[in-house]
Structure 1
Amino acid sequence: MAPQNARTGLSCLVLTLLIVPGSAVAGETPEDVAAAIPITSPFHEPLVFGADLEQPPLPAGEWIVFTNFDGADMNGCGWGNNSPQDNCSTIFQGQVLPFTGDLGRRAAVVQVMRNDLGKFNIHVTDVRPASGDYDMEMIGDWNPAPGGGFAGVAPSIDCFNSDGGEVSFTLDYTSSPTGIAKAVLQEIAHTWGLEHVESKADLLYPTTQSVPDPTFVDECFQIVQLDDSNQPVPENNIQCPNQHSQFCNGSNFQNSYQELLQIFGPGSPDLTAPTLDITEPAEGAEVDAKFDLKLTAADNQTPQLLTLSLKIDGPSAAETDPTAWPSPSDLTFPITGLAPGEYTVTATVRDEDKNEAIDVVHFTVKGEPVPGTTGEPDTTTGEPGTTTGEDTTTGDEPGTTGDAPTTGDGSGNPTTGVTSATGGVTDSATTGDQADGDDGCACRSDLAPTSGAPALLLLLGLARGRRRARA
């Protein structure tokens, strides 16, 4: 019998695609904001600290930025007191509501922030430090809601970060994690002495009408303010002239990158690999044809988007596309329809800095091996192993009906978006639209079993993931 094309008929393996909880999209722009709005509130006059300093204080090791997504009751603790340890604020005394994004969207916000702050000795976390000084960014809407359209607000222009940790705010103004993150970065940067500049490529551009991915640019730009029409015009009242003039010709220009590098020093890469453990099935276990594959994955930094891929080697081979999950995660993948025989599952997880962890488990699916699924080469033709005797792909055998696994909408086409390593959802994962005469089998060549195998269905269902509670 000639080997069958793995993408035609019923002799194929169907693998449902994985999706990260929620829609964490780390690379999108805030398109849901109808018009450009000020990133920093024009209605709040910031305090100014350290304007007479000529040099920054010596950096006290790694600086910490705490992103508070969980909300809090803010206190008025006295003039100039914006202590993050005590939830003090000179700007707002009231309730900051929890951020509406799920765990994936939170992790995507922090991922964008780390991409921009990783050049400096700054650590971003969503865990409140137990001691020491740090900045806190409250991310969420206010109750009562503020008047006017703006994305965030900083309490001060703190030259050289001389006053230390402070509390600033970013409202839940867009569904875009990138939009949220860029606003957060501007508000925190104000508390490090950075002012608004004219370039749309720089994170200190004063409105949301910047380039899609602004950053801290290593170039001198004119310092500006917004006029009554929200248009940037030159700023004459410079708050931190000594900080700016060290790198630019005149105090009315600013080099955001060099100033932060002077204040905090250079960053260092994260070299710590994540942890990964396949907890079920156990090594050497014998399992039924229907079983759960369970694993745990975590990273030393939180939150973190971990990229997971799975490879199954054996009579029914399969491989998943990389998918992103927030760390830490306990994940369960229901599997059914594997042909009897010996298998190896290899799980690979990478963190945002490409540190990698691998775990491998060997197990056996109970039952008599199905002829033609061993993958041994055909000694007469050199073709992959083929079935002998009658064609077993008619759907008359148990487990070989060819019924495609259903997705959340009850269809047989796995059309769920695949979340990329950066959290971006792609729509190209739809596999039900096949060309070249494929009769809707929706199989992918890299997921196919040994050619000529009986019709097999591998359902690697939507992972049931939950985030472990922190100790």
Structure 2
Amino acid sequence: MARQNARTRLSCLVLTTLFVPGLAEAGEPDDLAAAIPITSPFHEPLVFGADLEQPPVQAGEWIVFTNFDGGDMSFCGWGNNDPQDNCSTIFDGQVLPFGGDLGRRAAVVQVMRNDLGKFNIHVTDVRPASGDYDMEMIGDWNPAPGGGFAGVAPSIDCFNGNGGEVSFTLDYTSSPTGIAKAVLQEIAHTWGLEHVESKSDLLYPTTQSVPDPTYVDECFQIVRLDNNNEPVPENNIECPNQHSQFCNGSNYQNSYQELLQIFGPGAPDLTAPTLEITAPADGAEVEGKFDLKLTAADNQSPQLLVLTLKIDGPSAAETDPTSWPSPSDLTFPITGLAPGEYTVTATVTDEDKNEAIDTVHFTVKGEPVPGTTGEPDTTTGEPGTTTGEPGTTTGDEPDTTGDAPTTGGGSGNPTTGVTSATGGVTDSATTGDQSGGDDGCACRSDLAPTSGAPALLLLLGLARGRRRARG
């Protein structure tokens, strides 16, 4: 399709007054604003399909491929930005991999799914083997021109009529929400959406003072930023026919209705994750110190799975929900269970609240002492971490500093010891109340005794976890 025009105004997210709640914990907004230019003078976005009147019929679910692994981009002149061949009209060089761990990657995609799930759009970190798709390169350019910027869409494709495009978001903050919201603006530009005046909309030129911008079902004035970084009405509209479908005049835009027209409505994921407790075996007899192992995975990648563990028996306990990236093979060293018969129930829930449960029954060897549970083992060990570690905004190893409280002061009173491992993604803008609820990312995992439970010491930590390679 012929190029309609080229603009010197870059279609990118401006960070002069960037603020995303939760970002302060991971990097001060003022520091980011000082480090990133207001706009980039280096690239001219291409505009495709400005004369289209209706979107082409999409063949099923549209795919957005989030490329966190970096790669070499080749220059394709004034042609189309081709994701299949890593071809870009603005850049010829290396994009470095995203700096976050598996948990941060999954958290970025989770935020994207929360907004794009309203439409028939599938977000994945696995490159499709065939067909058309968009690719968002999430990582740092090497070198970043002029000190870098938050993101850029090399082309504006009205009605998504030209098909798959490449756009870029730099690894400019440790906040998964900050990364995701930049991606959501850049990828929307490749679908013909332009900047608007409302701070509640994801197409506002900055994310200043907005707790959770989204694609809003309302008509807003299309704007650009002036030299004082203030939004002013834009007269040169890129995709007038696309915008006038739902608003009175082509200089207004309804982000939600336009995406709904292009892609159609979304549908929830109804496929449950898979879960298996692989050790101990059902009916096994174990010593007082053993490994609890489980395997969890989901049909969508990446995915944050919320895990809870419940132990029923002489030493009863239950964890708080904690998020782990899928797929994961997890190992939890456990010690201090009183002798007797036990049932362990593991539950994982995916982002669409699909649930999987597995249960095993086993016996801890030893002679129970009538009226007591025995003294707890005081071996705590130090949990190790591997590539299956829970996602964190810092990449640090899990905290294992939980102290052992006492339940009484006199001799003969049992001591209730609890050690805890902190895992999961801790970006408050993503997690909300950090309880593993609708926002997806639990913060803390304490395997604590239930009310009236006998003495217990459980070391809950990822010691020999291994993230399975994808096929």
Q: Is the shorter-chain TM-score for this pair beyond 0.5, marking a shared fold?
A: yes
d(CA) in 2 for partners of 1:406, 1:324: 29
Deviates more, 1:319-328 or 1:449-458: 449-458
Distance 1:439 1:227, change over 3 A: closer
Name the structure 1 match of 2:342: 343
Does the CA contact (< 8 Å) of 1:393 and 1:454 recur in 2? Answer: no
Distance 1:34 1:60, change over 3 A: same
Does the CA contact (< 8 Å) of 1:6 and 1:443 recur in 2? Answer: no
d(CA) in 2 for partners of 1:135, 1:254: 22
Distance apart, 1:430 and its partner CA: 21
d(CA) in 2 for partners of 1:348, 1:68: 30
Distance apart, 1:233 and its partner CA: 1.1
Deviates more, 1:363-372 or 1:287-296: 363-372
Secondary structure of the residue aligned to 2:147 is: coil
Name the structure 2 match of 1:368: 367
Name the structure 2 match of 1:432: 432
d(CA) in 2 for partners of 1:342, 1:263: 58
Does the CA contact (< 8 Å) of 2:426 and 2:441 recur in 1? Answer: no
Does the CA contact (< 8 Å) of 2:13 and 2:206 recur in 1? Answer: no
Distance apart, 1:23 and its partner CA: 12
Distance apart, 1:33 and its partner CA: 2.7
Does the CA contact (< 8 Å) of 2:167 and 2:187 recur in 1? Answer: yes
d(CA) in 1 for partners of 2:194, 2:178: 19
Q: Greater CA radius of gyration, 1 or 2?
A: 1
Query: Runs of 5+ in structure 1 lacking a partner?
Result: none
Distance 1:60 1:17, change over 3 A: closer
Does the CA contact (< 8 Å) of 2:198 and 2:220 recur in 1? Answer: yes
Does the CA contact (< 8 Å) of 1:109 and 1:180 recur in 2? Answer: yes
Distance 1:335 1:12, change over 3 A: farther
Does the CA contact (< 8 Å) of 2:421 and 2:446 recur in 1? Answer: no
Deviates more, 1:392-401 or 1:337-346: 392-401
Does the CA contact (< 8 Å) of 2:306 and 2:441 recur in 1? Answer: no
Q: Identity over aligned residues, as a percent?
A: 91
Distance 1:151 1:323, change over 3 A: same
Does the CA contact (< 8 Å) of 2:321 and 2:442 recur in 1? Answer: no
- CA deviations on 1:360-391 (whole Å, 9 max, x unpaired) are 0000001111322589999999999999999x
Deviates more, 1:301-310 or 1:401-410: 401-410
- CA deviations on 1:216-259 (whole Å, 9 max, x unpaired) are 00000000111123221111100100000010000000000000
d(CA) in 2 for partners of 1:399, 1:17: 34
Does the CA contact (< 8 Å) of 2:151 and 2:170 recur in 1? Answer: yes
Distance apart, 1:461 and its partner CA: 3.3
Distance 1:15 1:309, change over 3 A: farther
d(CA) in 2 for partners of 1:355, 1:198: 38
Deviates more, 1:145-154 or 1:258-267: 145-154
Distance 1:210 1:375, change over 3 A: same
Distance 1:401 1:200, change over 3 A: closer
Name the structure 1 match of 2:281: 282
d(CA) in 1 for partners of 2:32, 2:357: 41
Does the CA contact (< 8 Å) of 1:277 and 1:359 recur in 2? Answer: yes
Does the CA contact (< 8 Å) of 2:195 and 2:223 recur in 1? Answer: yes
- CA deviations on 1:107-154 (whole Å, 9 max, x unpaired) are 000000000000000000000000000000000010111215521000
Distance apart, 1:344 and its partner CA: 0.0
Deviates more, 1:276-285 or 1:225-234: 225-234
Distance 1:405 1:68, change over 3 A: farther
d(CA) in 1 for partners of 2:14, 2:41: 55
d(CA) in 2 for partners of 1:4, 1:370: 84
Q: How many residues align?
A: 469
Distance apart, 1:61 and its partner CA: 0.6
Deviates more, 1:378-387 or 1:356-365: 378-387
Does the CA contact (< 8 Å) of 1:206 and 1:226 recur in 2? Answer: yes
Does the CA contact (< 8 Å) of 1:56 and 1:160 recur in 2? Answer: yes
d(CA) in 2 for partners of 1:2, 1:162: 12
Deviates more, 1:245-254 or 1:435-444: 435-444
Does the CA contact (< 8 Å) of 2:305 and 2:351 recur in 1? Answer: yes
Distance apart, 1:454 and its partner CA: 6.4
Does the CA contact (< 8 Å) of 1:24 and 1:177 recur in 2? Answer: no
Distance 1:416 1:222, change over 3 A: farther
- CA deviations on 1:346-373 (whole Å, 9 max, x unpaired) are 0000000000000000000011113225
Aligned-residue Cα RMSD (Å) equals 15.9
Distance 1:284 1:172, change over 3 A: same
Does the CA contact (< 8 Å) of 1:12 and 1:441 recur in 2? Answer: no
Q: How do residues 216-231 of structure 1 correspond to structure 2 at under 5 angstroms?
A: 216-231=215-230
Secondary structure of the residue aligned to 1:110 is: helix
Distance apart, 1:178 and its partner CA: 0.6
Distance apart, 1:155 and its partner CA: 1.2
d(CA) in 1 for partners of 2:464, 2:307: 14
Distance apart, 1:212 and its partner CA: 1.8
Distance 1:323 1:450, change over 3 A: closer
d(CA) in 2 for partners of 1:186, 1:3: 22
Does the CA contact (< 8 Å) of 2:15 and 2:32 recur in 1? Answer: no
Does the CA contact (< 8 Å) of 2:175 and 2:393 recur in 1? Answer: no
d(CA) in 2 for partners of 1:411, 1:14: 65
Distance 1:32 1:322, change over 3 A: farther
d(CA) in 1 for partners of 2:44, 2:449: 66
- CA deviations on 1:145-182 (whole Å, 9 max, x unpaired) are 12155210001111000000011000111111111001
Distance apart, 1:439 and its partner CA: 36
Deviates more, 1:254-263 or 1:37-46: 37-46
Distance apart, 1:207 and its partner CA: 1.7
- CA deviations on 1:268-319 (whole Å, 9 max, x unpaired) are 0000000000000000000000000000000000000000000000000000
Deviates more, 1:41-50 or 1:184-193: 41-50
Higher relative contact order by CA 8 Å / sep ≥ 6: 1 or 2? Answer: 1
Deviates more, 1:376-385 or 1:100-109: 376-385
Distance 1:40 1:418, change over 3 A: farther
Q: How do residues 28-177 of structure 1 correspond to structure 2 at under 5 angstroms?
A: 33-34=32-33, 41=40, 43-148=42-147, 150-177=149-176
Distance apart, 1:411 and its partner CA: 24
Does the CA contact (< 8 Å) of 2:309 and 2:346 recur in 1? Answer: yes
Name the structure 2 match of 1:23: 23
d(CA) in 2 for partners of 1:78, 1:2: 13
Deviates more, 1:433-442 or 1:355-364: 433-442
d(CA) in 2 for partners of 1:462, 1:170: 32
Distance 1:3 1:245, change over 3 A: closer
Does the CA contact (< 8 Å) of 1:414 and 1:430 recur in 2? Answer: no
Does the CA contact (< 8 Å) of 1:415 and 1:431 recur in 2? Answer: no
Deviates more, 1:123-132 or 1:51-60: 51-60
